[in-house]
Structure 1
């Protein structure tokens, strides 16, 4: 009781007590040697002092004003009272003195400047509690601001005491406006919740240009429309493929590679929770290998991306696991004609300990053995077609493969992926998260053909094409707001991929194949077919085997230190250990066997400076040591951004960025020359010592404009010059037997490439936000030096010079939404199969009738056009949430061409004649899916 009374009157007596203490020059004396233990987790300083005074029966006085707003995080064991106070007050601007009477007085440090404080905290999704990395925190009435780190935490340090208006903004969320009071030496901390906007689809995609200030500048609290009844139209069916809605992302056609702003497929990296995933595709390139229900956010880093993200000469795509805490338990089930998705959540929290635990599990699998989706099965049958030119070259028979007719065909598609992610929030400032992913998929086709009657050639021809991919990723990340100025994160991860490809091609003229000797004409087709399959299992049919594996271990630590609200530095260090193996057998290419191990040590430093109210400057550099090359590589990068929220034409923001980008783990796409090849290429990896590491110089400019709340315009352009890049050398793979077949020179050569591109996206809301229109155009000018193969500079084979998009969304009712999308691609060249340009050019004839393959830029494909229409119905049910989705894909039934092949024409009197046969995409095909959330 005496302590509480002293606390109430200390405001009057404190000056007199301190004066007495000063005149007597009393120093802090050791309290009686009794020892005590205390644990404080975010308690206010006044509560902590009261607890110490009561437990130790100590007289203690202080002015309540000097302890206001200060929190204590401390744990002391078996300490005396002075030692306890030193620990509790150590991180504050306070000290204590002990009077001769034994009374302890809490005072301000004489040398402390009382005019500054700090504001820090964490920004989270108000619905799920998920942290929001990269959110912008701006001081509305003064210069300065910052952004959240990987754990969603922010720091504004060295703030002069007073009142501040703070604006929090993030893509896909409503802006939050707060007014706070910062007292002298006060460490003000809080968790800020942001409300998601009504978005078109999930997961949310975040691009590199983030506006610093919201277009709405009100101080009336959080700007959320409580009457908004329109919700999202559901999740993307494929989180990677759906990125083609965004500028610079090319991934529109099945079985086509993913390209980022005109770069090769191997020049970007796809990551999951900041960990690289190699070959992240199912069924070749038709689907991504990730369940769409496991992903919450996609970060898209394109030309001019920042220093912390890493080293890739085209860019990065980082997918994040969806670890939510909506309810204690949540279960989602979704089914469509091709696959099943299952997802579940668990959430637990302890308000007293300020801790929580979230875990998410998701799994996806197809059921091809139970139900074969007719459209996919027919597509496989059409695409798995025998190419006569390639067959005649490989079988080594004096015959024409065009004389064989289809007899039997079978295909098999299997894939699954499993995701597990968790987040343990130890307290408001420490988080431990982890995730795990495994995916496996197989696709195979085999066919039997029979020769036409009256032809003196082997009666049967058999081909099999089989692919197997396996992916694994695991990571654990610990993040902590160490102090009001320092935020740190540490991650340990491991990723691996293994790919196996087997191709078989042969006829019954092979004496090792026991196909009804002497009775071929009487053998039923199915029995002959099964006999070939048994022979293939015993390796009696000539075959090609390709194998590739990569394993990647990463340890990284990143930190952000804030000197002032206007200035902070980001720094990090990373260690990589990479091991890979490449093995190509000799049916198509010269045998190649490569086994590589590399270690990389990299670091980066980046400074961010806010000048005035709307200018932001960033400058930094990476430094990487590669043990196989025995040298260091630097990558300086920078950006300038200006935001103008209160201009006469509306809100606009412009950003310039650029720098040097290198690449130390390289991916190569080897053309698959098999006559019935379903997947056009397969991947191999190399990170050996190179004469020159791949290098690119980026210049990028983006413009974000919001003339009103209903209209948004995004315009970007970029230029990438790559003085050193690598491409596959088919001359080395096919002809040069003198090259070391264990090195990168067995399949690669240096070259030069440049890319210039422009992208435009217009977003317009209509009818009181019931409808939305997205109009897009992309232009790409791509040139690669292929002097060794064609003797000149050419547009790249993957180039799409012009791409138009129109997407409309209409909320017919709150429960029913219609989505229509049109896409057109113009200017595609390299019309023939890649094996014609990369294999036949070296191994076959120079001409086939009127056709040759030396001018791929003149082999122009017809324009690609596709229109899709979807309806999403989400009725309100008492027991669960349900979603019915109808997708009318390629509604106009266009047979868009993927590539060409040549078919011999028989019966011509003079010379060989050929005609073009087109491999096309599927026509119109509907798909229905159903989803339950419980």
Structure 2
């Protein structure tokens, strides 16, 4: 036997060979001493292709998937044996990467652990930090690379149930190449990314402490982005639900409703991350009033030898899977990914989602009475008895990447998702007092000893389909070009049905007029909104110097939209449009010294045939510096003019069977409607005083001299059943307002605690056409004061305790939104002045508090990783108030009743990766 040796690094290339032969080849190449019983490896085969790696990494690669383990003796001999099955004690690695000359943190440096099969790699964040969890204890090789710097490699010992820390200082290295591809948004000053807060893939897939993953719900972890209850509509820094755009691989996706973090439009397993751009975003980022949300599909690197794997994930609401792999077609590396997810409602009805639909499908007696003549009313309580909620969703994702040469690649991707929410409603179980006396008759109906019932069906259905192709290649040593083409289609429908009237109880309605009111309130309705976009866009990126650059883009968008909606208060609206837009934008980056960067941009938009060109100048000034013992400071000031050419309008439903309280429509704006415009001014400060701490502060102001909103009084007074398509200017009118606010976030990452604390303040006012005397009032979608925290405490043995909490204060518009839109003094009589429905800012809701807690566990056996989470949402069981309703009584008085958010509920999720 050869003298025992620690062995030398070696490269290995073995494809489907007998394991015994592969082990001998590896031992010869590395010079190690290897001892094993032949029966352990008999009949087994192995495949392993690696770059130069240490012997232990090669040994693990060969033994992957086999029930064979190894130990190393004190003299260096490797002994193969049967594995010992016990839960591994795992550790974590955290660190920071710095520039060797300036000492400033390096964002977007690539961090790899070649010998850790459970870890594929990560990149440093905007402050140069990285974090890796779930590592087996022991020595690990850490390889860090960054464009323009020398590769850094070191060995770090990861302790069990603890965190190892490593600081890497990278020396600069000149680059000599014929052509070089640089993503201008990823390099430069760290403050250049403060307008683009990124949520990486891990939080998207993990979910909260007690929630299943919801991609858009994860955006709520970004300072300044909020998800309003109960349907989790996203708002960016005081903006309305339609004030931002959402894009997947550059293509628009509409109405990805998440129903209070209980449904989601996208499979978390399919996505690489989410980028939120807030006030002051650049000219290249499109047209929007408040910001943008950008999603990208996740693909393995073509050269990743461990890039072929599958993942299965299950929770109480969905079942999902992902497959990915890398291959070579001829000389072209190809990466592929396919992922899908479906709801499990037909098998198991999640209690939280069931409760949400049940509470929000209540037939409101006040709105029902207002839909018939003013001299009729309903008495005694809500007519709504909600039964048989229904929900369902599925989505499919696919992506391909062809690496055609140095900095040349072709990306293809497609997505289709569909969601439904509905309920079968039965009237007759009042929430408040009894509904009058028995034995009354009216309208030909006899009220005998049976409760009055009216089975009703309401359903919302929406779907999105997206496909795109993107090609990028270097044009010269300093210029890169990109061309993208794609199509996006959205369709949403709302439908309700009426069943037969039945009577089975002495408690019913006060009169036959009440029966008529209920029947009219639940009359059958249908609505459709559809939008199709076809896009062709190109971009040229020119490096003018070491810190000078110019990016130019141009594109053509053709859009087709169709709307047909209405309700008991509003006549049926019909509108069709075919429009096109030409856009061009340019942005220049100028380095003013080592620490200052100036960005200036201009965006132009025209609508062929209308003769108007809309100009949007935008700019930013950024400063970054490492200040001795005070750490690193980054400051950015941004602003500009912003317009939106396709506007989302939410038509409030009549409340009869509003499982979803609004019907959404998208209208491309044409004459005489002028696109809304806002002016932004925003400032951000990032301070990293120590390796474990980061503090972010932001502030913004938005001037909104021209907005558009639905004029509900004009809509209610319009003639019914128009014979021709509706002119949008008949029910959409100008508005104006402002929004300002700010926030503070403190994040800490230690060995025994990782967490963050965020506070955000927001105030927004605007006018609402036809309502509130034309004065500016507080908007209903903001949370004026929001305080949130997250915390993770490692418990050892792959376990961690997680907790998230949130408090919201100052919410206004306390009654159901339909009250403010449709009710008039004639509907409420004397109660109008008492309830002050013309002053929604006086209807202050009580504070909302939530606390979620859970335990996360992770294990790995024979190359199969298992991660799970058990938690409780709303641990305190608070019945947080969502809004109020009004309840009329026989004596003419009106009382208030409360509609609350779902209470305490348990959640379980499991993810298996192999």
Q: TM-score, normalised by structure 1?
A: 0.72
Q: More deviation in 792-801 or 327-336?
A: 327-336
Structure 1 CA distance for aligned equivalents of residues 285 and 439 of structure 2:
65
Pair 1:589 & 2:560 matched: no
Partner of 1:574: 555
Which one has more relative contact order, counting CA pairs under 8 Å at least 6 apart?
Answer: 2
1:676 aligns with 2:669: no
Match of 1:829 in 2: 812
Structure 1 window deviating more from structure 2 (627-636 vs 490-499): it is 627-636
Equivalent residue for 1:332, pick from 300, 311, 318: 311
1:759 aligns with 2:743: yes
One of 281, 289, 293 as aligned partner of 1:313: 289
Q: Which moved more, 1:456-465 or 1:594-603?
A: 456-465
What CA distance in whole angstroms lies between the structure 1 residues aligned with 2:480 and 2:795? 46
Aligned match of 1:854 in 834, 838, 854?
Answer: 838
CA distance in 2, matches of 1:837, 1:776: 32
Number of the residue aligned with 1:473: 466
1:665 matched to 2:646? The reply is yes
Unaligned runs of 5+ in 2: 1-107, 114-118, 129-144, 153-165, 187-191, 208-212, 429-434, 446-451, 509-514
Distance 1:564 1:174, change over 3 A: farther
Query: Are 2:782 and 1:799 aligned?
Result: yes
> Residue 378 of structure 1 aligns with which residue?
355
1:426 deviates by: 1.3
Contact 2:463 2:491 in 1 (8 A): yes
Contact 2:351 2:905 in 1 (8 A): no
The answer to whether 1:928 aligns with 2:904 is no
Distance in 2 between residues matched to 1:760 and 1:249, nearest whole Å: 13
Q: Following the alignment from structure 1 to structure 2, what is the Cα–Cα distance between the partners of residues 489 and 789?
A: 48
1:651 corresponding residue in structure 2: 632
Aligned in 2, Cα 1:293/1:413: closer, same or farther, shift over 3 Å?
same
Answer whether contact 1:500 1:548 (CA < 8 A) is retained: yes
Candidates 323, 348, 354, aligned match of 1:344: 323
For 2:346, the equivalent position in structure 1 comes to 369
Counterpart-to-counterpart distance in 1, 2:709 and 2:505: 51
Deviation at 1:732, TM superposition (A): 2.4
Query: Following the alignment from structure 1 to structure 2, what is the Cα–Cα distance between the partners of residues 546 and 284?
Result: 23
**188 and 276 in structure 1: CA distance in 2 versus 1, 3 angstrom threshold:** closer
Confirm or deny that 1:274 pairs with 2:250. yes
| Residue of structure 2 equivalent to 1:356 | 333
Q: Which of 244, 255, 275 is the matching residue for 2:220? A: 244
1:616 to 588, 597, 602: 597
- Structure 1: which 5+ runs fail to align? 1-121, 138-152, 157-163, 168-172, 196-204, 212-230, 509-514, 526-531
**Residue 522 of structure 1, CA deviation:** 11
> CA separation of 1:840/1:919 partners in 2, compared to 1, >3 Å: closer, same or farther?
same
The 2-side partners of 1:914 and 1:660 are apart by 47
Distance 1:239 1:569, change over 3 A: same
Instruction: Report SS of the residue matched to 1:861.
Output: coil
1:193-208 map, 5 Å:
207-208=194-195
Q: Are the structure 2 counterparts of residues 521 and 387 from structure 1 closer, same or farther at C-alpha, using a change threshold of 3 Å?
A: closer
> Which deviations, in whole Å up to 9, do the C-alpha atoms of 1:317-339 show, x marking residues without a partner?
00111112453521111111111
Matched, 1:439 2:417: yes
Is contact 2:324-2:337 (8 Å) kept? yes
1:714-753 Cα offsets, whole Å, 9 max, x none, are 0010001111111111122211449985222133111112
The Cα shift of 1:283 comes to: 4.6
> Cα distance, 1:348 vs. partner?
1.4
CA 1:174–1:492: 2 relative to 1, 3 Å? farther
1:428 aligns with 2:410: no
> How much has 1:862 moved relative to structure 2?
0.2
The 1-side partners of 2:523 and 2:582 are apart by: 44
Q: Which residue of 2 aligns with 1:771?
A: 753
> Among 414, 419, 422, which residue is 2:397 paired with?
419
SS in structure 2 at match of 1:892: coil
Q: Deviations over 1:700-727 (max 9, x none)?
A: 1000001110110000100011111111
- Matched residue SS, 1:378: helix
**Structure 1 residues 508-531: Cα deviation after superposition (integer angstroms, max 9, x where no partner):** 3xxxxxx7xxxx6599x9xxxxxx
2:76 alignment counterpart: none
Choose 896-905 or 465-474, whichever is displaced more.
896-905
1:106-505 paired onto structure 2 within 5 Å: 126=112, 177-181=170-174, 187=178, 207-208=194-195, 235-236=206-207, 237-283=213-259, 286-325=262-301, 327-349=306-328, 353=331, 355-394=332-371, 398=376, 400=378, 402=380, 409-450=387-428, 453-457=438-442, 458=445, 459-504=452-497
Which structure has the larger Rg? 1
Within-5 A mapping of 1:859-878: 859-878=843-862
Shift of 1:347: 1.2
Is the counterpart of residue 888 in structure 1 residue 888 in structure 2? no
1:289-328 CA deviation, whole Å, 9 max, x = no partner?
1111111111111000011111111110001111124535
Distance in 1 between the 2:643 and 2:617 partners? 10
Offset of residue 480 of structure 1: 1.1
TM-score, length-scaled by structure 2 = 0.74
**Secondary structure at 1:835 match in 2:** helix
Give the superposition deviation at 1:620: 1.2
Deviations 1:449-491 (A, max 9, x none): 2477434355433332211101101111001122220111111
Over the aligned positions, Cα root-mean-square deviation in angstroms equals 3.6
Give the aligned partner of residue 45 of structure 1: none
Classify the secondary structure of the residue corresponding to 1:379: helix
| Count of aligned residue pairs for this structure pair | 725
CA shift, 1:242, in A, is 1.8
Aligned-partner Cα distance in 1 for 2:206–2:625: 33
Find the aligned partners of 2:652 and 2:181 in 1 and give their Cα distance: 55
Please give the alpha-carbon distance, in whole angstroms, between the structure 1 residues aligned to 2:704 and 2:112. 44
d(CA) in 1 for partners of 2:319 and 2:562? 34
**Local SS of the residue matching 1:376:** helix
383 and 209 in structure 1: CA distance in 2 versus 1, 3 angstrom threshold: closer
Distance in 2 (CA, whole Å) between partners of 1:844 and 1:876 is: 64
CA–CA separation in structure 2 for the residues paired with 1:582 and 1:479: 37
Deviates further, 640-649 or 390-399 = 390-399
Is the 2:362–2:382 Cα contact (8 Å) retained in structure 1? no
SS in 1 for 2:790: strand
**Pair 1:666–1:883, CA change in 2 (3 A):** same
Q: Given the alignment of the two structures, is residue 734 of structure 1 paired with residue 730 of structure 2, yes or no?
A: no
The 3 A distance-change label for structure 1 pair 177 and 881 is: same
Q: How does 1:86-105 map to 2 (within 5 A)?
A: none
Deviation at 1:402, TM superposition (A): 3.9
- Deviation for aligned residue 1:410: 1.6
Aligned equivalents of 1:540, 1:613: Cα separation in 2: 67
Give the 3 Å change call, closer, same or farther, for CA 190–273 of structure 1 in structure 2: closer
Paired with 1:279 and 1:365, the residues of 2 have a C-alpha distance of: 18
Q: Distance in 1 between matches of 2:808 and 2:880?
A: 10
